[in-house]
Amino acid sequence: MAVHIVPAQVTDVQRVLADHPRYWGDRDLRSLHLLALVQEFGSTCLAARADDGIRGYLIGFVTPDGTGYVHLIATRDDTRGTGLGRDLYAAFVEAAREQGAVRLKAITSVANEGSVAFHRSLGFQARVEEDYNGPGRAMVVFTRALPGAP
């Protein structure tokens, strides 16, 4: 079954939210799925569509200083380990470069070992920043320069 990575639509995110546990397990991250991001940054918000639904998605945007920021990335439970997360990142890099991105950034909770391992495997540097998300709320911050960027 072919998977096509395309710009996400609001309806894609609504489908994901209706089946949220398949993407996020027991973690309730529905409040992070801001439909306004898809509305305003449609070319850098991506959905991996197949005949059986949304297999994965990435919500991201490019900041004025040229940072391609990945707000959320997830793959459905039956597609993990297939390389789809890497494919979503590759498609995001292409879309972000078109908007002038020269570096990438993402964050995750300190406890999210899977995300840390995934991002490190993609060549990201990871550092813990204390109070990143408010007092006593440390986060892991991932950064990576885009090859060929100034």
Predicted confidence (pLDDT) per residue in 49-61, tens digit: 999 999 999 999 9
How far is it, in rounded angstroms, from Cα 96 to Cα 104?
Answer: 9
pLDDT of residue 150: 59
pLDDT of residue 148: 74
Which residues of the chain register pLDDT less than 50?
Answer: none
pLDDT of residue 147: 82
Q: What's the gap between Cα 81 and its chain centre?
A: 16
pLDDT of residue 119: 97
Start-to-end C-alpha separation, the chain: 39
